[in-house]
Amino acid sequence: MTESRVLPTNYVTKPEDLKTSSGRTLRTDEMIINMGPQHPSTHGVLRLEIVVDGEIIVDVIPHIGYLHRCFEKHAEHMTNYQQVIPYVDRMDYVSSMNNDLGYALAVERMLKIEVPERVEYIRVIMAELQRIASHLIAVGTFGIDSGAFTPFLYAFRDREFILDLFEMTCGARLLYNYVWVGGVSHDLPPTFIDKAKEFCKYFKPRLVDFNNLLTFNEIFVKRNAKVGVLPREVAINYACSGPMLRASGVDWDLRRDDPYSVYHKLEWDVVVGKGEVGTAGDCWDRHIVRMREMEQSVRIIEQALDAIPEGNVQAAIPKRIRPDHSEVYVRTETPRGELGFYVVSDGTASPYRVKARAPAFVNLSVLPEISRGAMLADLVLIVGSVDIVLGEVDR
Amino acid sequence: MNPTLESLIITVLLSALPLVFILVYALVTLYLEMKVAAHIQDRVAYMRTGWHGVLQPFADILKLLQKEDTIPAAADRFLFILAPYIVFVGTYAAFAIIPFTDAYIGSNIHLGVFFLIGVSSLVVIGILMGGWASNNKWSIFGAIRSAAQMISYEIPTALAVLIVVMITGSLNLQEITKFQDGGIQNWILFGGPLPLLTKLLLLPFTLLTFLILFTASLAEVNRTPFDLPEAESELVQGFNTEYSGMRFAMFYLAEYANMFVVSAVAVALFLGGWSSPFGEFMSGPVWGAFWLIGKAMVFIFLQIWIRWTLPRLRVDQLMYTSWKVLMPFLFVCLFAVGLILVLTV
């Protein structure tokens, strides 16, 4: 733990090291400044209480809860397990498909039902498209955090194509309510597969462009290398997950290590941060892991589009879902990390308890640990590289 | 009419001329900035207010004019109100020594460039004042960053100017421009109208000096990648966070005017100012204004291009760039140019 406190201060002289001739340090009073909830780069309504010494951060205290919408309590009051899905959509609103998938899998495991193979493939395609869309927002806003506005709009331009695909499938562009317990709400439209293939073909060169424009930009690398280093042990101790964890060099991806759906049938690699330009686990690593994960997602989508079988899109499930007295914890890999649903049933039609383990919330908790000693401008980058969605942090 | 009064009126009118220019130029550049940014970013920007949105800058200014003018309760009212005007005055004063054509220069003083370096420091005071008076921690951060940045980058600018002064032997921008008159081959960027050997020897150093001057001028006008004082993602809006309405517009106007000043000065120092690149062809007082403004606009376009392409540096990297990269190179240039001039001319 002490490891992380010796932070990338190689570019600053610590105030306590500067002494006057009479032996007094030049350390001055610290200042507390308030960042957010209306600050432009807190990615939503996060409030950070920052203790700074000049431009150097002494401590950061995140204050959350501005977007708390009682998801868990609402879920208990639904008269049907299916009715929870729209609420799940609104947790991490930039990756609704992945949330839906996690919840649907949990209830299906509780009911012990198998879904048709076509459904599995559709779900994987949707989840990976959503992962690309979500990562595009993450890397785009990260560009804004580092002062480059243009990559953000490129990212949003490309995300638009994915949203179009979602729209033609289920009519919605942000909150889909698409993955249902036992299947999906609609079958794929006839032109979907061609359009999706077209998107994959279009998107691959765009990723190269994006890397050339932002990722390998000299200034960008200088800004992000060795900043906000999250060491491997700290990442594991804080239970970080997703790109956060992988950037720190931990080879862990639930899609491979706790397989669900048909991920085990497809060929893809888990991307791990190696500290190419700085230290493993710095902001740049978190960025490049997301960039490369998008490449892998495209690979998965292409294979899934070729392998998708014909068939039903809804398994035979009882009209009113009444699982037996049981409890289940199912975890899936969302763009932000391990999203776990702990669902308890008391045998009635409404869930007794739905607890969500939100990856963004857990990842955010490591923020003070990795920002101490950084500069104020770095904090913005660190927050950006954690890629929080406050809807999920607060639920 | 009383001859003193007459000359006074003429002086006032002439000194108001750049103001008219700034207002027109600001409208054009506002439009240009938005349109260039949009096309860089694969969008179209405003299209509805007039043909391709040409009236949008007017609409923007109209909106700023009628906005409620708020002063934070905890602000230092006097300084808060004064700050934008000081920033603008600092910028406007610099227009006095820009030779628009061989016939018009606000004030043909011999210490032209020296005056410029002096008055542009006023801008720092205004920014510091605005940030301090706002009584907002983010504003103070922005203001202090800005002060540190502008002071650090004034030194490379001054050194770069000094190199030109060594070549031309004058501090007067009008004289410096006249020195380069007669075509593209006479520009100081390419060694100036000196004997061929001197020219060739000077060429690498003048090119390098120009690049450094351009970089430093980006920092002086707080443009990307040196836009730390108003770094949106970090400091909200930096020193002008608390400003709204016309006062905000003054800061904005000063920033745009400052962009023109640094571009025009760079053009006058290195690219022949108002002189035509084709020698006698297309030269004259009116063409002179065209050339100066045209060349300056090219650099403004460059600034916009850079702004919408590059990320931002961090404070320590900014200082590093100024003191440890630009300055040593400039000292090398300064020494080399001096040596070449002594040995060959």
Q: Which of B42, B222, B233, B241 to mutate to test the interface with A (most CBs of A within 10 A)?
A: B233
Model confidence at A8, in pLDDT bands (50, 70, 90)? very low
SS3 at position A164: helix
From chain B, the residues in CB contact with A217 under 8 A are 310-311
Of B141, B236, B311, the CB nearest to A148: B311
Q: Is residue B114 part of a domain?
A: yes
Contact A146 B315 (CB under 8 A): no
Q: Is residue A364 part of a domain?
A: yes
- Other C-beta atoms closer than 10 Å to the C-beta of B283 total 20
Q: State both tokens at B158.
A: 């001054």
Taking Cα atoms as reference points, which of A373, A289, A341, A315 lies closest to residue A2?
A: A373
Gap between the Cα atoms of B173 and B108, Å rounded: 8
Gap between the Cα atoms of B115 and B120, Å rounded: 8
Model confidence at A9, in pLDDT bands (50, 70, 90)? very low
Per-residue pLDDT, A374:
84
Question: Is residue A3 over pLDDT 50?
Answer: no
Contact B141 A55 (CB under 8 A): yes
Highest mean predicted confidence (pLDDT) among A93-102, B219-228, B237-246: A93-102
Question: Is residue A10 over pLDDT 50?
Answer: no
Per-residue pLDDT, A5:
43
| pLDDT (tens digit per residue) in B121-172 | 888 888 888 888 888 888 888 888 888 888 888 888 888 888 888 888 888 8
Model confidence at A136, in pLDDT bands (50, 70, 90)? very high
Q: Is residue B184 part of a domain?
A: yes
Q: What is the tally of structural domains in chain B?
A: 1
Distance from CA of B55 to the nearest CA of A (A): 24
Q: What is the mean pLDDT of residues A204-223?
A: 89
H runs (alpha helix) in chain A: 2-5, 71-76, 85-89, 96-111, 117-145, 150-170, 192-210, 218-224, 232-237, 243-247, 254-257, 283-307, 359-364, 367-371, 376-386, 390-394
Per-residue pLDDT, A14:
60
Q: How far apart are the first and last CA of chain B?
A: 53
Q: Is residue A46 part of a domain?
A: no
Model confidence at B284, in pLDDT bands (50, 70, 90)? confident
Question: Is residue B321 over pLDDT 80?
Answer: yes
| pLDDT (tens digit per residue) in B51-100 | 888 888 888 888 888 888 888 888 888 888 888 888 888 888 888 888 88
Gap between the Cα atoms of B73 and B50, Å rounded: 40
Per-residue pLDDT, A1:
39
Q: Is residue A255 part of a domain?
A: yes
Q: Is residue B21 part of a domain?
A: no
Per-residue pLDDT, A7:
43
| pLDDT (tens digit per residue) in A345-375 | 888 888 888 898 989 899 988 988 888 888 8
What is the identity of the amino acid at B202?
L
Contact A223 B317 (CB under 8 A): yes
Q: Which of B40, B139, B230, B234 to mutate to test the interface with A (most CBs of A within 10 A)?
A: B234
Taking Cα atoms as reference points, which of B256, B226, B236, B258 lies closest to residue B139?
A: B236
Maximal C-alpha separation, chain B: 65
User: What is the pTM assigned to this prediction?
Assistant: 0.84
What is the identity of the amino acid at A174?
L
Residue of chain B whose Cα is closest to the Cα of A376: B234
SS3 content of chain B, % helix, strand, coil (to 5): 75, 0, 25
Q: Is residue A365 part of a domain?
A: yes
Q: What angle do CA B190, B195, B196 make, to 5 degrees?
A: 60
Contact B42 A31 (CB under 8 A): no
Contact A146 B233 (CB under 8 A): yes
Question: Which run of H or E residues covers position B318?
Answer: helix B315-320
Gap between the Cα atoms of B10 and A153, Å rounded: 50
Question: Which run of H or E residues covers position B180?
Answer: helix B173-180
The sign of the CA dihedral B208, B213, B219, B223 is negative
Buried residues in A226-239 as b, exposed as e (16+ CB within 10 A):
bbbbbbeebbeebe
Q: Distance from CA of residue B174 to its chain's centroid?
A: 17
* Contact between B147 and B128 (Cβ < 8 Å): yes
Q: Is residue B3 part of a domain?
A: no
CATH of the domain at A191: 1.10.645.10
In this predicted structure, which of A4-8, A162-166, A171-175, A297-301 has the lowest mean pLDDT? A4-8
Q: What percent of chain A has pLDDT over 90?
A: 17
Q: Which residues pair with A375 in a beta bridge?
A: A56
Highest mean predicted confidence (pLDDT) among A276-285, A328-337, B95-104: A328-337
Contact B310 A11 (CB under 8 A): no
Per-residue pLDDT, A132:
92
| pLDDT (tens digit per residue) in B322-333 | 888 888 999 998
Per-residue pLDDT, B100:
83
Residues of B with CB under 8 A from a CB of A: 37, 40-43, 137-138, 141, 224-225, 227-228, 231-234, 236, 308-317
Q: What are phi and psi of B275, to 5 degrees?
A: -75, 145
Q: What is the mean pLDDT of residues A26-55?
A: 78
Of B41, B231, B236, the CB nearest to A147: B231
Question: Is residue B236 over pLDDT 80?
Answer: no
* Contact between A301 and A129 (Cβ < 8 Å): yes
Of B137, B311, B314, the CB nearest to A217: B311
Model confidence at A133, in pLDDT bands (50, 70, 90)? very high
Contact B233 A147 (CB under 8 A): yes
Question: Which run of H or E residues covers position A49?
Answer: strand A47-53
* Contact between B239 and B230 (Cβ < 8 Å): yes
Question: Is residue A97 over pLDDT 50?
Answer: yes
From chain B, the residues in CB contact with A10 under 8 A are none
Distance from CA of A77 to the nearest CA of B (A): 40
Contact A380 B233 (CB under 8 A): yes
Per-residue pLDDT, A28:
66
Model confidence at A2, in pLDDT bands (50, 70, 90)? very low
- Other C-beta atoms closer than 10 Å to the C-beta of B248 total 18
Q: Is residue A126 part of a domain?
A: yes
Model confidence at B199, in pLDDT bands (50, 70, 90)? confident
From chain A, the residues in CB contact with B236 under 8 A are 39-40
Per-residue pLDDT, A4:
42
Average pLDDT, chain B: 84
Model confidence at A56, in pLDDT bands (50, 70, 90)? confident
Distance from CA of A66 to the nearest CA of B (A): 20
Per-residue pLDDT, A146:
86
Question: Is residue A6 over pLDDT 70?
Answer: no
Q: State both tokens at A371.
A: 């920002």
- Other C-beta atoms closer than 10 Å to the C-beta of B127 total 32
Question: Which run of H or E residues covers position A47?
Answer: strand A47-53
Q: State both tokens at B66.
A: 């009628």
Gap between the Cα atoms of A204 and A222, Å rounded: 26
Distance from CA of A143 to the nearest CA of B (A): 7
- Residue A284 CB partners (closer than 8 Å, separation 6+): A215, A220, A221, A224, A225, A227, A276, A277, A278
**Strands A183-184 and A326-334, sheet pairing:** unpaired
- Other C-beta atoms closer than 10 Å to the C-beta of A262 total 18
Q: Is residue B19 part of a domain?
A: no
Chains A & B: contacts with CB separation below 8 Å: 78
Of B309, B312, B316, the CB nearest to A150: B309
Q: CA-based Rg of chain B, rounded to a whole angstrom?
A: 21
Contact A153 B310 (CB under 8 A): no
Boundaries of domain holding A134: 71-394
Model confidence at A15, in pLDDT bands (50, 70, 90)? low
Distance from CA of B290 to the nearest CA of A (A): 32
- A42 vs B188 pLDDT, higher one: B188
Q: Is residue B49 part of a domain?
A: no
Distance from CA of A319 to the nearest CA of B (A): 48
Gap between the Cα atoms of B260 and B116, Å rounded: 13
Q: Is residue A224 part of a domain?
A: yes
Q: What percent of chain B has pLDDT over 90?
A: 2
From chain B, the residues in CB contact with A373 under 8 A are none
From chain B, the residues in CB contact with A150 under 8 A are 40-41, 308-309
Taking Cα atoms as reference points, which of B214, B93, B166, B176 lies closest to residue B339?
A: B166
Boundaries of domain holding B118: 72-344
Distance from CA of A298 to the nearest CA of B (A): 23
Model confidence at A20, in pLDDT bands (50, 70, 90)? low
Q: Which of B314, B317, B319 to mutate to test the interface with A (most CBs of A within 10 A)?
A: B314
Q: Is residue B143 part of a domain?
A: yes
Model confidence at A298, in pLDDT bands (50, 70, 90)? very high
Q: Is residue A13 part of a domain?
A: no
Q: Is residue A37 part of a domain?
A: no
From chain B, the residues in CB contact with A213 under 8 A are 309
Contact B314 A378 (CB under 8 A): yes
Q: What is the tally of structural domains in chain A?
A: 1
